[in-house]
């Protein structure tokens, strides 16, 4: 009996791996933002406002965080129809978020701030672009969850995959808020 209680306190290997990955991703973005601060101190730094679409995309990713949390709840309650709807909506919102980021890049370019332009603009492209790639990785995970949800034959009802996807999705959400606030303040 005591061995059972010890076993239950262990973190699932997939969750543990995700925590390690999120720590690594966090360190990468700390490196990016630290380099931004150092480079900003140079004389040729060009200050500009971020496109408003970046702020609007924040609402999209916040809503998607809510939908994935509801999806986890529905999965655990075995309400598979509602789970399918919510996981589909979350993946769609992830794609909308990435599209908003691309639109923001287009707006930067139209303002005369292309990737090959001033160093300050290049930092925006790299930092926001890397975040967008991580969001797209999350969208791929959500699409896998989507495909599993629509399988006709279910072998195991384990909540671990959706919990891992949800944890990662919340992580990229919080990371985006940090980056947006950082890039707005540290201009």
pTM assigned to the model: 0.89
Q: What is the CATH number of the domain that holds 89?
A: 1.20.120.80
Q: How confident is the model at residue 6 (pLDDT cuts 50, 70, 90)?
A: low
**How many domains are there within the chain?**
1
Tokens linked to 74: 């529905």
Tokens linked to 174: 């919080």
DSSP string for 106-165: HHHHHTT--TTS-HHHHHHHHHHHHHHHHHHHHHHHHHHHHHHHT-S------SHHHHHH
State how far the Cα of 48 lies from the Cα of 137, in Å rounded to an integer.
29
Residue 46, C-beta contacts closer than 8 angstroms, at least 6 positions apart: 113, 118, 119, 120, 121
pLDDT greater than 60 at residue 4: no
H or E element at residue 26: helix 13-40
| pLDDT at res. 167 | 97
For residue 46, the 8-state DSSP code is -
| pLDDT at res. 3 | 52
Cβ–Cβ < 8 Å for 127, 29? yes
Give the domain extent around 108.
2-185
Q: How confident is the model at residue 168 (pLDDT cuts 50, 70, 90)?
A: very high
Rounded to 5°, angle at Cα 127 from 177 and 114: 120
Higher per-residue confidence, 156 vs 21: 21
**Cα atoms in the Cβ-side hemisphere of radius 13 Å centred on 37:** 9
């Amino acid at each position: 009996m005591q061995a059972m209680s010890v076993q239950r306190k262990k973190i699932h290997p997939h969750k543990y791996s995700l925590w390690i990955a999120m720590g690594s991703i966090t360190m990468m973005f700390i490196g990016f933002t630290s380099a931004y601060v150092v480079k900003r101190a140079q004389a040729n730094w060009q200050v500009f406002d971020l496109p408003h679409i970046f702020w609007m995309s924040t609402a999209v990713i916040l809503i998607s965080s809510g939908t994935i949390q509801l999806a986890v709840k529905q999965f655990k309650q075995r309400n598979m129809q509602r789970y399918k709807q919510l996981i589909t909506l979350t993946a769609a919102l992830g794609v909308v978020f990435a599209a908003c980021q691309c639109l923001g890049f287009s707006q930067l370019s139209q303002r005369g701030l292309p990737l090959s332009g001033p160093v300050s603009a290049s930092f925006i492209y790299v930092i926001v672009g890397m975040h967008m790639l991580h969001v797209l990785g999350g969208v791929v995970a959500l699409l896998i969850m989507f495909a599993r949800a629509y399988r006709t034959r279910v072998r195991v009802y384990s909540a671990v995959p959706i919990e891992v996807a949800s944890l990662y999705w919340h992580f990229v959400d919080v990371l985006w808020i940090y980056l947006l606030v950082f890039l707005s303040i540290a201009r």
